[in-house]
Amino acid sequence: MKSTDVVASPEQHGGDGSLAVETRGLAKRFGANVAINGVDLLIPRGCAFGYLGPNGAGKTTLIRVLLGLTRADAGTMSLLGHPVPKHRDVALARVGAIVDEPRFHGHLTGRQNLQVLAAAREPAARSRIDASLERVGMLQRADDRVSKYSMGMRQRLGVAACLIGDPELLILDEPMNGLDPAGMHDMRDMIRSLVAEGRTVVLSSHLLDEVQRTCDAVAIVDRGNIIRQGPIPELLAGTSLTLQVDCSEPDRARSLISSTNLAATTIDVEGDGLAITLPAGTSRDVFAEVARVLVTGGIAVYRLEPVQASLESWFLQVTSRLGDTA
Amino acid sequence: MTAASDGGAPTASPSALGPTRDRRGSPIPTFSMIATRFMELRRRRGLMITLVLVTIGFPTVFLAIRLLLHAVAPKTYGPAGGYDIYTAMSAGVLYTFGFIVAATLGCTAGSVDLAEGMFRHLVITGRSRLALYLARIPAGLAIIGSLVAIGFAIVCAVCVYAAPSKLSYNGVTVPAGLSQSGLQTWAADNAATVVCNFSYDGSIAGNVGCDNRPGQPPSVVTQGPTGQLVPASASQAKAAATQIAQQDYQQYKRQFRYPSNSLMIKTGLWLELEATVGFIVGLGLGSLLGQRTTAVILMIVLEVILTPIAVRSRIPHFINAQRGIVGVATGHLEPGQLPLAFGGGGRDYRLTESTTTAICVILAWLIGWTILGSWRMMTRDA
């Protein structure tokens, strides 16, 4: 692991069940292509965990390995404290997952598809079908054939399929795909409510804004490696800060700021103002100093706003840096 | 989607439900798994319509037309039942098509979870993949077994209740249930009819034959001293008819006005065996290949092309391999009163093999394909 652990370092955890997911040195290759390259991943229980990465980074492969859909070439892993694949059946009994696009038997209704899946789970799963359908807002359409469902409805049915097992751990691969804005809002709320109930949700998504709003912690994977991992506030705390300044005479304002000894990384003229990039951890006194320099220099300041880097900008920054070094 | 807890089980906090209580690692499928698999197959409307049409529709329509024609014109059209109808429908239609529809259902059951994306959902439940595979066997057999049973029951019902009042052998009305001596006596009394209608393999003593020239009634003749045909004497004709009857008795003995209970039970079991083999092999092949179309084509090729060739031909140094084909083995178990399932013009082309060998071959196919199919399912990436 190359960055901050979500909870602690791997050495501090001995598979005592306090982690929802734990992998050590997990590797998987398809011929010459390395899909997962010695991944150490620690996901604590009871949080929403985002799993991010560019296309082809190995996100879905890791999920497939965790769920026993494909075999790992090396490494160890456990789900909910149970080593996998040795105790895969016990571990998966409390796991619900959507991997890739959720697909079902099109000739069956949503309810019948859930009956097929419930039959493969514990006997109590069948009694949870209606509640699961209601929770994802599909109860009214439960008796329609799945072939008539939209993509978004199939996503909801996929979540319902996860819920019939009363899971402690949900692994959702791109659950927002096909959802309209209201559906995405509902999904976000539902994920937060699941976490509030003490469940763990692992969310793989390209929608970084949604991940930032939904998740407590993230891991970024690229080329089979986890390159960053930790709580979102901690990860973003290490990123630069941009001070947006709306003012008169932006060019002269830039010269004034440049002539001071402020530790600005870059100063760019953007429209009717400046964008001043400051190092992580810059204090509020620096903002006041910028305002003082400009006003003293006879420049009218209309707005001055510090903007923290978003997860999306941080993600692009991290992944583009990797691209530069490749 | 509702964020708030609704009181149903999924909204409750993660419980301490013992996951081992449902024994999902066990390879034995639960009744619930079998029942839902049955439902999944039964609700494939197009497939089920096809299966019903072939196994029940064809025999029903064919027999209904014969019943109707016989009712309208009984002198022109014979009864709907009888030996020929029973054997053609059971050893012909239901045997071959029963295998093909069973194989189609098996290939479907073996491949659709993968093709339709449900396999992944099922694997994620943690249930043993072997149990997932084995659940398909009773579910599929319940469907195909019922269909074949219904189709065969219709054939039996028509053949019993619309049976001819007399036995027709080689187009001649013959008393049913005669002993060999009884048949020979009857033949002697109806010498011209027997000599001119019954089949005979070989030469008849005294060069007796049938003069069946157009415009003249058939008569029994023999060669005169100068080679011309002359009417046979009564004793010559009786001797010839008796000789023919003696040879034909085995063939005559197999024929009936309506099938006996014993024959119907044997035939029914034999047809169910053939359907079971078709389903199990199709299931294994479908699972192995992971797709239905190719598997169905291969199964049809096996039943319609390879098996008849293997049954009828003797390939040097390949006889044991021919015996290893499952259709040859099931053909060997065919009830004795039925004609060869793959035709043969009244001759029995079957390879000689013991019943034990045939049973071993069938078991090997059933077990072997189940192992292959389940192995592929257990090792396949989902």
Tell me the residue range of the domain where A265 lies: 240-308
User: What does the pLDDT read at residue A4?
Assistant: 34
A11-19 contacts at long range (C-beta below 8 A, 24 or more positions apart): A13/A42, A15/A78, A15/A81, A15/A83, A16/A81, A17/A80, A17/A81, A18/A44, A18/A45, A18/A81, A19/A43, A19/A44, A19/A45, A19/A78, A19/A81
Report residue B97's pLDDT band, with 50, 70 and 90 as the boundaries: very high
Supply the mean pLDDT for chain A. 85
Q: What are phi and psi of A72, to 5 degrees?
A: -80, 150
Shared domain for A148 and A213, answered yes or no, is: yes
In a domain, B4, yes or no: no
Is the pLDDT at A110 greater than 60? The verdict is: yes
Residue A198 is nearest to which of B7, B14, B17, comparing CB atoms? Answer: B14
Range picked from A44-58, A82-96, A212-226, B138-152 for highest mean pLDDT: B138-152
Shared-domain flag, residues A53 and A107 = yes
CATH of the domain at A94: 3.40.50.300
Angle CA(B292)–CA(B296)–CA(B298) in degrees, nearest 5? 120
Query: A122–B24: do the CB atoms touch at under 8 Å?
Result: yes
Sorting pLDDT into bands at 50, 70 and 90, what band is A97?
Answer: very high
Q: How far is B107 from chain A (nearest CA, A)?
A: 16
Q: What is the pLDDT of residue B22?
A: 64
- Per-residue pLDDT tens digits for B266-286: 999 999 999 999 999 999 999
Rounded distance between C-alpha atoms, residue B150 and residue B69, angstroms: 23
pLDDT at residue A116 in the model: 96
How many angstroms separate the CA of residue A243 from the nearest CA in chain B? 37
Q: Do A120 and B24 touch (CB under 8 A)?
A: yes
CA A62 – CA B292 distance, rounded (Å):
30
Q: Minimal Cα distance from A189: which residue of B? A: B3
Q: What is the mean pLDDT of residues A237-248?
A: 83
Q: What percentage of chain B carries pLDDT values higher than 90?
A: 48
Chain B residues with beta carbon closer than 8 angstroms to that of A168: 14
All residues at 6 or more sequence positions from A95 whose CB lies less than 8 Å from its CB, including other chains? A67, A79, A80, A165, A167, A168, A169, A170, A171, B124, B126
Final residue belonging to a domain, choices B227, B253, B279:
B253
Distance of CA A185 to the CA centre of its chain: 15
pLDDT higher than threshold 70 for residue B342: no
DSSP SS3 for B112 = helix
**Tens of pLDDT along B209-267?**
888 877 777 788 888 777 787 888 888 888 888 888 888 888 787 777 888 899 999 99
Torsion of CA B356, B362, B363, B367, to 10 degrees: 160
Q: How far apart are the CA of A104 and the nearest CA of chain B, in angstroms?
A: 5
- Tell me how close the Cα of A163 comes to any Cα of chain B, in angstroms: 5
What is the count of residue pairs from A and B with beta carbons less than 8 Å apart?
Answer: 172
Domain boundaries, position B124? 23-165+258-379
Q: How many residues does chain B have?
A: 382
Rounded to the nearest 5°, which phi and psi values hold at A302? -95, -30
Q: Which residues pair with A50 in a beta bridge?
A: A203, A218
Domain boundary among B229, B253, B277: B253
Integer distance in angstroms from the first to the last C-alpha of chain B? 28
For residues B137 and B56, state if they share a domain.
yes
Domain of residue A273, CATH code: 3.30.70
Of residues B203 and B305, the one with the higher pLDDT is B305
Distance CA B222, CA B182 (A): 26
Cβ of B43 within 8 Å of Cβ of A107? The answer is yes
Q: What is the pLDDT of residues B7-19, one digit of tens each?
A: 343 444 444 444 4
* 3-state secondary structure string across A192-205: HHHHHCCCEEEEEC
pLDDT beyond 80 at B26: yes
Q: Do A190 and B19 touch (CB under 8 A)?
A: no
Q: Which chain A residues contact residue B111 at CB under 8 A? A: none
CB-CB neighbors (< 8 A) of B16 in chain A: none
| B16 in a structural domain | no
Higher per-residue confidence, A279 vs B126? B126
For residues A165 and A264, membership in a common domain is answered with no
Q: What is the pLDDT of residue A10?
A: 41
A52 in a structural domain: yes
Q: Which chain B residues have a beta carbon less than 8 Å from that of A107? A: 43-45
pLDDT of residue A77: 93
Give the gap in angstroms from C-alpha B132 to the nearest C-alpha of chain A.
8
Q: What is the pLDDT of residue A320?
A: 55
* Interface contact flag, B124 A97, Cβ < 8 Å: yes
Residue of chain A nearest B123, judged by CA positions: A69
Q: Which of B4, B22, B35 has the CB atom closest to A123's CB atom? A: B22
Q: What are phi and psi of B208, to 5 degrees?
A: -80, 140
Of B2, B45, B124, the CB nearest to A92: B124
Percent pLDDT > 70 in chain B is: 91
Q: What is the ipTM of this complex?
A: 0.78
What residues in A contact B49, CB-CB < 8 Å? none
Tell me, yes or no, whether A194 and A110 share the same domain: yes
pLDDT band at B1 (very low <50, low <70, confident <90, very high): low
The pLDDT, as a whole number, for residue B341 is 64
- Minimal Cα–Cα distance from B323 to chain A, Å? 40
Give me the mean pLDDT over the B131-150 stretch. Answer: 96
Contacts of A187 in chain B (CB under 8 A): 1
Report if residue A138 sits inside a domain: yes
> For residues A91 and A16, what is the distance between their CA atoms, to the nearest angstrom?
14
Q: Which residue of A has its CA nearest to B131?
A: A120
